[in-house]
Structure 1
């Protein structure tokens, strides 16, 4: 395939995605907007001046929204690729297999903590590993038994918690892990406060009342895991709307 053909295919794919995303926006208010190119009735449009004005206004409002959502959808394609692989692995392992794998991974971290850390450090890492194992099992269960809403609201946040919690807790007692995790955590916290939590001086309130040290890092990463899980779930949902995944 030549470079020109590849570029043409890329442009065509983007056009299809953007059109479908805008049609989905139109479908929120007006009937028969999505995937009507090859139907007998075709796309519905109002038959009076006032209705057509509302139709065009709603379409115009969707243009900036599509411009914002489409880059997120591209990231959603990549996220979906990896989440599908994780889903496939979890399906093959089953709930018992995921439980066993989590026990092996975080149990190994706990055993290392028993050797290297103080008694308090060992107990903290062991507790975090138990919570992470439970979160991993719940993520698999909610992903299996629930629909899209349950998967996004519960499965993804539990999955993120299972990944983040034990390493951050272990970093409280390991200088090596602390040097790897905490400086980046501080940089990330500053960015979140300066950009995402600047509305209503919420960042000032947090800075004056809380110090990012010790167990506060655990609270920070737990606070990130939940909305990050929701964000990844929403991105995958957008990707599924634009390009439904084939089984």
Structure 2
């Protein structure tokens, strides 16, 4: 008896993802491209010029899909973690999230009060307050807004709540600073030599700014907002391909 070979489940999942992503691309230009329509079926052009445009955009779409699919995979991984956070936030409620954030970063401020100067304590306490407010705003935006509000506002607010207090504490604590600041400097060099150089911003930043003191806070705020937008976009892309 001949044994029928079957494709691995992972291969089938990837194939289905690529097909769905290509169908979404094609539907930007042509009607009824996604899936099977029981009554009308998938739209096809009826003229030679229409077929030429259809095939041409289909070929461009294949390239777009090849470039976007790695982002889809990142979106799957990001969505897994964000959904766990969403479930935890839903269980805690807005007040619970704000209270938990206040306890976590308030503990950091209390440690700063015992070990740092008055200036350091005030700075860390202010950062803790901002982070707590940002956490509350992230939950509020995610609950009351649509997808656009969640991506544009909720994700950056959540990233700010995570990054801000440790970076501020690193400016006044040698223990925290020995971990955060060297890593921040290495990351800044990679960004300047990499993506920022591609868009021509590396020279301007090197000439006008020095990475010291409050500049570390500005750097991480500058990272938190785009990183939030990126995370929201890749999760949206993952939802589009595999709801």
Equivalent residue, structure 2, for 1:13: 13
Q: Are 2:137 and 1:138 aligned?
A: yes
Provide TM-score, normalisation by structure 1.
Answer: 0.94
Whole-Å Cα distance in 2 between the matches of residues 8 and 115 of structure 1? 58
**Partner-residue secondary structure (3-state), 2:39:** coil
Cα distance in 1 for residues equivalent to 2:220 and 2:6: 41
Displacement after TM superposition at 1:169 (Å) = 0.2
- For 1:1-247, what aligned pairs fall within 5 Å after superposition? 8-36=8-36, 39-199=38-198, 201-244=200-243
> SS at the partner of 1:46?
coil
- Name whichever of 187-196 and 166-175 sits farther off: 187-196
Q: Note the C-alpha offset of 1:192.
A: 1.2
Distance in 1 between residues matched to 2:86 and 2:220, nearest whole Å: 23
SS of residue matched to 1:197: helix
Distance in 2, Cα, partners of 1:15 & 1:200: 34
**CA RMSD, 1 decimal:** 1.5
Count of aligned pairs: 240
The answer to which of 5-14 and 224-233 deviates more is: 5-14
* CA deviation string 1:137-184 (max 9, x = no partner): 000000000111000000000000000000000000111111111111
Moved over 3 A (4+): 4-7
Cα distance in 1, alignment partners of residues 5 and 94 from structure 2? 46
Q: What is the TM-score with the length of structure 2 in the denominator?
A: 0.95
Q: Which runs of 5+ in 1 are unaligned?
A: none
SS of equivalent to 1:122: helix
Give the distance between the partners of 2:87 and 2:121, measured in 1 at CA.
Answer: 33
Following TM superposition, by how much is the alpha carbon of 1:41 offset from its aligned partner in structure 2, in angstroms?
Answer: 2.2
Unaligned 5+ residue runs, structure 2? Answer: none
Post-superposition offset of 1:201: 3.0
CA–CA distance in 1 between the matches of 2:41 and 2:162?
47
Q: State the alpha-carbon separation in 1 of the partners of residues 7 and 193 from structure 2.
A: 39
Q: CA separation in 1, counterparts of 2:27 and 2:199?
A: 34
